[in-house]
Amino acid sequence: MRVLVFGRTGQVARELQRFEGVTALGRDEADFNDVEACAKRVNEALADVVINATAYTAVDNAETDAAQAYRVNADTVGAIARVAAERRLPFLHISTDYVFDGSGERPWREVDATAPLGVYGASKLRGEEMVRAARGCHAILRTSWVVSAHGKNFVKTMLRLGAERQVLNVVADQVGAPTCASDIAQTLMEMARQLSNDPGKSGVYHYSGAPYVSWADFAREIFHQAGIDCKVEDIPSDAYPTAAKRPSNSMLDCTEIDTVFGVKRPDWRGGVSRIFADLKTS
């Protein structure tokens, strides 16, 4: 299976490049600020499947940079989806828990009403809508709290801060599930394979790690596994103000992806162990 991936240096993009048959396009080859150029790459590609692992993910900056957030997360995504549909290529796109408002206490289902709290979530939701509007074979994979040995993420931040401090304040009233980029990549490849044989599986799916956890308890597990003696103090979200409001409830119900694709939620604690192993060898 020949897979064209948009993105080369992001967390999921780097993990996708571990698979055979993957061609990853970096910004120098496919700049998401250039809508038509990216669409042209799909039209010219020798590919069986297209995966978008590129996004504008600067959640706070998006509040004052809405034009670029929408261009990257929606306009270019829509253009790629349209060309993929014309060529009858399955198109897989990564989305986010930020399309929801974070209310309630139960995990979000795919059919639940969306209501983004900020520009980032709204731009990602618009991208979802444009993928569906292309009417091609597609899968929109909503995920949360992505971590890996690459780039900037919560695991690497905690390792750095934990080594510098004896006590660390971490938000405890936001609950979700960490998801390892390697697990997302493996899931995307499995979905791509199945979609190629059965386009009827097209749709929106949720995928995240297990079990659900708060950011504070996530930090405690990171320190525990790393053997770092740093105490975590629980704080509320309003004690750590940000330009964009974060959802309090980021829990995703992953029943549907298990039912349709046979993909189960991975235990993120084992994923953190793999990240540590990757960091030691990098």
List the catalytic residues.
Answer: 120
The Cα–Cα gap between 238 and 25 comes to 39
13, 61, 91, 113, 135 from 204: Cα distances, Å: 20, 27, 12, 13, 13
Give the H or E element holding residue 78. Answer: helix 76-86
- Token pair, residue 39, equals 């669409």
209, 272 Cβ separation under 8 angstroms:
no
275, 180 Cβ separation under 8 angstroms:
yes
Look-up: residue for tokens 């899931």? 187
Look-up: residue for tokens 């953190």? 272
Question: Directed axis angle between helix 181-197 and helix 268-281, to 10°?
Answer: 110
The amino acid sitting at 281 is: T
Burial 70-82 (b: 16+ CB within 10 A, else e): bbbbbbbbbbbbb
C-alpha radius of gyration, the chain, whole number:
18
Q: How many other CB atoms sit within 10 Å of the CB of residue 132? A: 17
Q: Considering all CA atoms of the chain, what is the largest pairwise distance in Å, rounded to the nearest integer?
A: 56
